[in-house]
Chain A
Amino acid sequence: MENFIDLILDPLNGLFLKFKVFVPNFLAMLVILFIGILIALIIKRALMKFLTAISFDSWSDRMGFTKLMRKGDLWSKPTATLGTIIFWMLIIVTLMSGLNALQIPAIDQLVSQFFSYIPRIFSAAMILIVGYLLSGFISRAVLITAANSGFHYAKLLAKAVHTLLIVLILAMIMEQLQIAPSIVLAAFSIIFGGIVIALAIAFGVGGINAARRVIEKDVMPKREEETKDEIEHI
C-alpha cells in the first residue's frame, strides 16, 4: 500500500520540485519582461525627443526615406517609425532574455541562435541603409549629368542605374542573412548577367546607328553648318 502511495506521490513530488525550480525562473522572466518593456518605452520616448530635436524628419525627407516609407504604405512620421522599430527590437531582445531565464534547454538553444543571428541582421540593415542612400545619390548624379548634356533618355538611364544598384543591394542583404544563399547567388548572376547581355544587345545591335552617329560626331570634323558656342560664361 505504501509503495502504491509512493507511486502516486513521487511524480507529484517531482512535479512540485520542478514547479519549485520553475516558479523563481518564471518570476525572473516576468521581472525581466517588465523592466525590459519599461526601458524600451523610456528609450523610445527619449529617442523620439532626440530625433525631433535634430530635425530627423526633415533629413529623412531630403534623403528620400519618407518617400520610400510612403511607397511601402507607412504613413507615420519617420521619427515615430524609427522609435517604434527600436522599441520592438528592444522588446524582442527582452523577450529572448526573459525566455532564457526559464532555463529550458530547447528555448535556450533558440535564444542562443537568435543572438548569434543579430550581427547578421545588423549588417544587413546597414547595407540596406547605406546602399539605399548611395543608389539614390548615384542615380541622381547620373540623371543630372545626362540631362545637362542634353541626353533625351536621362531619366530612363538614371532609373536603370538605380534598379541595377537595388538588385545588387538586395542580393547582398539576402547573402548576409543567409537566406538560400546558393539560390540568391544563382538568381543574381542570372538577372545581372541578363541585364548586361540585354544592354549589350540593345546598344550593340539596336543602337548601331546611334553608335555610328556618336563616333562620327567625335572622330569626323564638325559640319560647317553647326555653329560652335564661343560664349565665355565667367
Chain B
Amino acid sequence: MKTTTFRAEVQEQLERIGQADIIVGIPSFNNARTIGHVVRAVQGGLAKYFPDHKAVIVNSDGGSSDGTSDVVHNSSIDDFNAILLHHRVSPISKIVFPYSGIPGKGSAFRTVFEIAGVLGAKACAVVDSDLRSITPEWIELLVTPILKGGYDYVSPLYHRHKFDGTITNSIVYPLTRALYGKRVRQPIGGDFGFSGSLAQYYLTKDVWGTDVARFGIDIWMTTTAIANGFKVTQSFLGAKIHDAKDPGADLSSMLYQVVSATFELMETYAEVWMPIHGTEPVPAFGFEYTVGLEPVNVNTVRMLNTFREGLRNLGEIWFDILGAGDFGEVERLGALPDSEFRFPIGLWAQVVYDFALAFHKRKLPVEHLIKSMTPLYIGKTASFILEAKDMGQTEADAEIEKLCMEFEKRKDYLVANWK
C-alpha cells in the first residue's frame, strides 16, 4: 500500500499526540469565510459529547490562498460555559497542513484516513468546510453510532428544500438503492462518520490516482462501505445550509463528476449488485424535526427550453444510447407544451439504466456520454418541479419513493443487458 509522506512538522505533531480516539477531518480550499464556524462547532461537539476521549481535528487543505489555515489555527470556542457545564480538561489537538497528491477532496480525505491509522483512532468523521448549519450535535450524531452502536459507517440525513439535491434525488439515491439494496438516503451527503477499521480498509484500495481522489470520494466511500458488508447507518443532522456555490459552476461538469463516479463503481462491484433483489431500510439515529427552509427560485421555462434544444441537437447521440423505443418517448416529450410536460418516472429509470449500459459498453468517451445526459436531467428536474410545486415535503418525498420503486422494478433490464 502506497502512503503519503507527511511533512516533518506534521510527523512531529503526530508523534507528540501519540494516540487519539476520535479524528474529525475538515477538507478545505479557500473557505476562510466559513471554516471558522465549522471548527468551532466541531470543537464544541467533541468537548460536549466526548469529554473523555482524546480527539484531533485535522484540516487537510488544498493550498488555499485566502488564509483558511490561519482561520483554522485561530478558531476556538471562547466561552465553553455557554455550551458546557465544565471546561474540557485535555485540549483538542489541531493539525493543519496542505495535503499532497492530486488536488481534490479525495486526496484530502486520504490524509485523514492515514492520520487515523497513525493515531489508532476508533472513530472518525468528516464534515465540509463550507457548512453554515453545522452544530456541535452533528459530531455526536456522526461519531456515537461508531463508538457505541458498533457501526462502521454513518451517512447523513438532512432536511433540504424539495427542489434541492436533484442529482441525489433523481439519480444517485434511486440508483445506489436499487443496485446495492440499502436505502441510504444521502449517499453523497459529504458529511460522514466511519470507524478506524473502515478508514484503514479505504487505504487498501488503490484509487488515489483516479477520479476518486478528485471528486468521486463521497459516493466511493458510501458504496465501498455498503458493497463490502460494513455495518451502515444514518444520522439525522437537521438542515443542510452551506455557503453559496459559484453560480457559474457548470451543471454538466457536476453531473459528469457524480455520475461517472457512480457508474465506475458499478463496474467495480458488478458481481455484488447483480444478484441483489429488493431493498431494505437502513437504521437511522437522531431526532427528526421539521425545519423552515428558504424558498428556492426556479425557471422551468428556461429548463424546458434547454431540454428541447438538447433533443434537437443531441438527438442522434441519444438515439444510439436509448434505442428507438425510449428515444421515441423522449421525442414525444419534446412536443408537449410546458404546462403538460411530465417526464414519466419509468422512462427516467430506463434512461439512467441505458446511460449506465452505454458507459459499461464504452459507446462514447465517458465525458461526452455523461455530459450529453445533461438536457435529459434538466428535463426530468423541470418535470419534478412542475409536479411538486404545490406539494408539501412529505408528498415530494413520496414522489421520490415512487421513482426509487421504478428503479427497483426495472433492475432486471439492467442486469440482463450487462454483459
A residues within 8 Å of B by Cβ? 58, 62, 137, 140-141, 143-152, 154-155, 226-234
Contact = CB atoms under 8 A, between A and B. Distances in A.
B239 to A, nearest CB: 12
B79 interface: no
A160 to B, nearest CB: 13
Contacts of B297: 227-230
A154 B368 contact: no
A234 B258 contact: yes
A228 B299 contact: yes
Contact of A155 (B245, B312, B364, B368): B312
A87 B392 CA distance: 70
Contacts of B381: 231, 233
B169 to A, nearest CB: 10
Contacts of B206: none
A233 B368 contact: no
B163 interface: yes
Q: Interface residues of B: mostly helix, strand, loop or mixed?
A: helix
Contact of A234 (B168, B309, B375): B168
Nearest to B242: A232
A233 B302 CA distance: 16
Contacts of B163: 231
B365 interface: yes
B298 A229 contact: yes
A140 B362 CA distance: 15
A233 B385 CA distance: 13
B110 interface: no
B158 to A, nearest CB: 11
Given A150-B305, A154-B309, 15 more contacts: A62-B364, A141-B367, A143-B313, A143-B314, A144-B317, A147-B372, A155-B313, A227-B299, A229-B303, A231-B166, A231-B298, A232-B160, A233-B166, A233-B251, A234-B188
Given A231-B166, A233-B165, A147 B313 contact: yes
B164 A231 contact: yes
Contacts of B317: 140, 144
17 contacts: A62-B362, A137-B365, A140-B317, A144-B314, A144-B374, A147-B310, A147-B313, A148-B252, A149-B306, A154-B309, A155-B312, A226-B299, A229-B299, A231-B163, A231-B164, A231-B381, A233-B381
A230 B298 contact: yes
Q: Which range contains the number of B residues in contact with the other chain?
A: 35 or more
A158 to B, nearest CB: 8
Pick the most buried of A144, A149, A154, A227: most chain B CB atoms within 10 A of its CB: A144
B258 A148 contact: no
B368 A141 contact: yes
A147 B167 contact: no
B192 to A, nearest CB: 15
A80 B171 CA distance: 41
A146 to B, nearest CB: 7
B254 A234 contact: yes
Contact of A140 (B251, B310, B363, B368): B368
A139 to B, nearest CB: 11
A232 B164 contact: yes
Interface in B335-364: 361-364
> Which 4 A-B pairs have CB atoms at the shortest separation, nearest pair first?
A147-B313, A154-B313, A227-B299, A150-B306
A92 B57 CA distance: 72
Interface in B149-168: 160, 163-168
Given A148-B371, A150-B306, A228-B297, A234 B167 contact: yes
Contacts of A226: 299
A62 B359 CA distance: 12
A141 B366 CA distance: 11
Contacts of B168: 234
Given A228-B297, A229-B299, A234-B167, A150 B372 contact: no
Contacts of A232: 160, 164-165, 245
Contacts of A152: 309, 312
